[in-house]
Homo-oligomer: A and B are copies of this chain.
Amino acid sequence: MTLLGLDIGGTEIKAGLVDSSGRILRSASVATPGDLDTLRGTLAGVVARLATGAALRAAGVAAKGIIDAATTRVEALPGTLSFLEGWLLADLMAPLLPGTPVAADNDARAALAGELRWGAAQGRRDAVLLTLGTGVGGAVVANGRLLRGVGGVAGHFGHLTLDPDGPPCICGNHGCLETFFSARAIEAEAFAVVHRGCDTRLAELVRNGKLTCAAVFETAAAGDAQAKRIVERAARVLAAGIASLIHAYDPEAVIVGGQIAQAGEPLFAILRTEAAWRTRRLLRREVPIVPARFTAEAGLLGAAALALEAAS
């Protein structure tokens, strides 16, 4: 069975032909256009390039924001892709793939669908996924079903309140998890430390315009005290949020993916230690906190997994 997976991101569209075992047969990526007409053309080009001659069974689309999976309607999609709001992703794809069923959902839920089918959540009926990137996304499977809530918002774990009087968040709330742990938050904290004149190798990164979240993690791993403090403090708050999720969902496992998860063991070690002492007494077990299997292809494979689900 051949599936098409499409991951529509803010800067890049990734597409791939995927077989039912999760193998990517062919893939392509193109810059994300800034308006609907160009997007239609871009998608047509990508689909023609990948899918011509392939016996497609179904297609899946993953995108940021809030998507009603039942109708594939884009309910909210902030940023450069806001022109998609109100559109049905299935209608967008229909002229390119006549007669092919099209599934759609947000990227975090798609990523969990992919991990459930082929990755770190295989065989799980109750699992929580967090994606750590510019912000923090999330998804959950309970009783073997992905939870979507009534408006597709369920799983917005970046907006768990970790401090009712904390920093303002883009969502309007204060003290959301992603105001403490996210690429944006970690970079902002590093800028603040440098700006206050602290003695840290992060200063050089700022001077050279090379301050990224990944660079803060690297600087911490190299032993810089301020960078370590920033990473450890952010990771502790993330772990406190994971403790909330463990108490709320009682999952078999917590899967952690997204770009920042590439920091690997230094990050996971803090998450495991901190989440364990915060949840051990109620749970009477340690809930495994494991890296997602898929990284750059998480959205594409997740979209293909949604397609497979729709076709089954």
Residues of B within 8 Å of A241, CB to CB, are 161
A237 to B166 Cα, complex, angstroms:
12
Residue A192 interfacial (CB < 8 Å): no
Residue A293 interfacial (CB < 8 Å): no
A161-B241, A241-B161, A277-B172 given; A149·B250 CB < 8 A = yes
Q: Is the CB of A150 within 8 A of B248?
A: no
Neighbour of A248 across the interface among B145, B151, B156, B250, CB < 8 A: B156
Could you tell me which residues of chain A, from 159 to 186, have a CB within 8 Å of some CB in chain B?
159-164, 171-175
A142 to B154 Cα, complex, angstroms:
10
Q: Is the CB of A163 within 8 A of B160?
A: no
A86 to B95 Cα, complex, angstroms:
60
* Segment at the B interface, from A44-52, A260-268, A282-290: A282-290
Neighbour of A153 across the interface among B152, B153, B247, B278, CB < 8 A: B247
CB distance from A280 to the nearest CB of B (A): 6
A282 to B151 Cα, complex, angstroms:
10
Neighbour of A156 across the interface among B237, B252, B282, CB < 8 A: B282
Residues of B within 8 Å of A142, CB to CB, are 142, 147, 149, 154
Residue A143 interfacial (CB < 8 Å): yes
Residue A224 interfacial (CB < 8 Å): no
Give A174's nearest chain B residue, CB to CB. Answer: B278
Q: Is the CB of A278 within 8 A of B152?
A: no
Residue A155 interfacial (CB < 8 Å): yes
Residue A76 interfacial (CB < 8 Å): yes
Q: Is the CB of A247 within 8 A of B157?
A: yes
CB distance from A248 to the nearest CB of B (A): 6
Q: Is the CB of B148 within 8 A of A250?
A: yes
Q: Is the CB of B159 within 8 A of A162?
A: no
Extra 12 A-B pairs, beta carbons < 8 Å, given A161-B278, A174-B278: A140-B248, A149-B251, A153-B246, A153-B247, A154-B249, A159-B247, A160-B244, A161-B162, A162-B162, A162-B163, A164-B237, A172-B279
A–B pairs, 8, beta carbons within 8 Å = A150-B250, A151-B283, A161-B162, A161-B243, A161-B244, A172-B277, A172-B280, A245-B248
